[in-house]
Amino acid sequence: MAVAVDLGATRVRVCLGSKSGRIVRRVSKKMVVGEKVEDYLGQITQVMRSMMRGYGKLDLQGICVASPGPLNLRRGLIVRTANLPYPQVPIVEAIRDAFHNDVYLVNDANAAALGEWLRGAGKGRLNVFYLTISTGIGGGAVVDGKLLLGKEGNAAEVGHTTIDSSGRMTCGCGRPGHWEAYCSGSGIPRFARRLLDELETSERNSLSGSSLVRNLSKADAPAVFRAAARGDRFGVRVIAEVGRLNAMGVANITDAFDPEIVTIGGGVALNNPDAIISPIRKKVEDYAINRAPEVRITPLGDDAGLLGALSVTYDPGMIGR
């Protein structure tokens, strides 16, 4: 057995699984992000212990943590991530000290790309891109049958590529114009408010019947998608613009990595598959020069990252370890 840890912006998911990819137990818990990084790390190890409780003394193959980046793989650190307030998180050291086992660290989207390549929609293909649209936006690329890592394990960090040179929106990382600022779960409601502010007074007045406009100050991303689904004029407008920008982002992926398939996961995409996939398929060729890849929702659901992280414990060479 091996342990995989999937760190999200708001939750941690932990599983115990086998070399074949069979998950025998999993636990998910909401994280409390406080002032001290030690408390944050303590929550993670506590969830891991609760997941392994009842299995006696496990002789683990290893533990792999899939985390949002940026990372420093050489030092086992999470650094400067947009969704945590800590300058760095010594995740590998903390888990190794707690469990006295081999611990590996990989970007969460890279782990999901491995999961898709080995067990999902990318199985049997040489060039696969996994895109996650969730609280943030991330990506992982398998190119010519090898996971693309980069100098510190942060290759294919597409959520922090620029899709708006005017920089109307500032990303959580502090940089302007990033894809994540406009089309992620955290970005969509802020983008909707920005779009409303940019309308001429007469056009804004014409939307007075929009329930989304009336409640926009409290709206989250699910509320924006629900409004669009029921035909709310402003909701439709926002999701159409999000779709256009997503197509632009996938076009950048197409031209940079030339994948056979782009498979998409993350909570925003999994909960709104048609609203996410359809605009990309329709518009990606408007922006890409390379032939458009197949674009689809991941068949692995939330498990792509866990499955990829499990695979790393059995073959650390996939991440150069």
pLDDT grade for 238, boundaries at 50, 70 and 90: very high
- What pLDDT band is residue 293 in, cutting at 50, 70 and 90? very high
- Do 197 and 313 share a domain, yes or no? no
Instruction: Tell me whether residue 44 is in a domain.
Output: yes
Kindly state whether residue 131 falls inside one of the protein's structural domains: yes
Do the domain assignments include residue 228? Answer: yes
Q: Is residue 307 part of a domain?
A: yes
Find the CATH number of the domain harbouring 198. Answer: 3.30.420.40
- The structure's pTM equals 0.92
35 in a structural domain: yes
Radius of gyration of the chain (CA): 20
Task: State the average pLDDT over residues 262-282.
Answer: 97
Indicate whether 118 belongs to any domain: no
What's the pLDDT tens digit per position in 111-141? Answer: 999 999 999 999 999 999 999 999 899 999 9
| 161 lies in the same domain as 13 | no
* Judgement on whether residues 141 and 257 belong to the same structural domain of the protein: yes
In a shared domain, residues 211 and 288: yes
Structural domain that includes position 129 = 123-299
Q: What's the per-residue H, E or C state across 120-183?
A: CCCCCCCCEEEEEECCCEEEEEEECCEECCCCCCCCCCHHHCECCCCCCCECCCCCECEHHHHH
Contacts 24+ apart (CB under 8 A), 168-175: 168/194, 169/194, 171/82, 172/82, 172/83, 172/136, 173/80, 173/82, 174/82
CA distance 217 to 211: 11
- Identify whether residues 212 and 89 lie together within a single domain: no
Q: How do residues 28-69 score in pLDDT, each as one tens digit?
A: 999 888 889 999 999 999 999 999 988 877 789 999 999 988
Domain count, the chain: 2
Percent of the residues in the chain that have a pLDDT greater than 90, as a whole number: 82
Asked if residue 178 and residue 281 are part of one domain, the reply reads yes
Kindly state whether residues 80 and 182 are assigned to the same domain: no
Q: Are residues 217 and 164 in the same domain?
A: yes
Is 291 contained in some domain?
Answer: yes
The pLDDT value recorded for residue 243 is: 98
What is the torsion angle, in degrees rounded to the nearest 10, for the CA atoms of residue 298, residue 299, residue 300 and residue 302?
60
Is 117 part of any domain?
Answer: no
Q: Is the model's pLDDT at 81 over the cut of 80?
A: no
What's the confidence (pLDDT) of residue 287?
97
* Entry field: residues in the chain: 321
User: Do 295 and 307 belong to one domain?
Assistant: no
Please check whether residues 210 and 252 belong to one and the same domain. Answer: yes
Of residues 255 and 78, more confidence is placed in 255
Helix (H, G, I), strand (E, B) or coil at 5: strand
Q: Are residues 171 and 271 in the same domain?
A: yes
- State whether 80 and 168 are in the same domain: no
Average pLDDT of span 147-166? 92
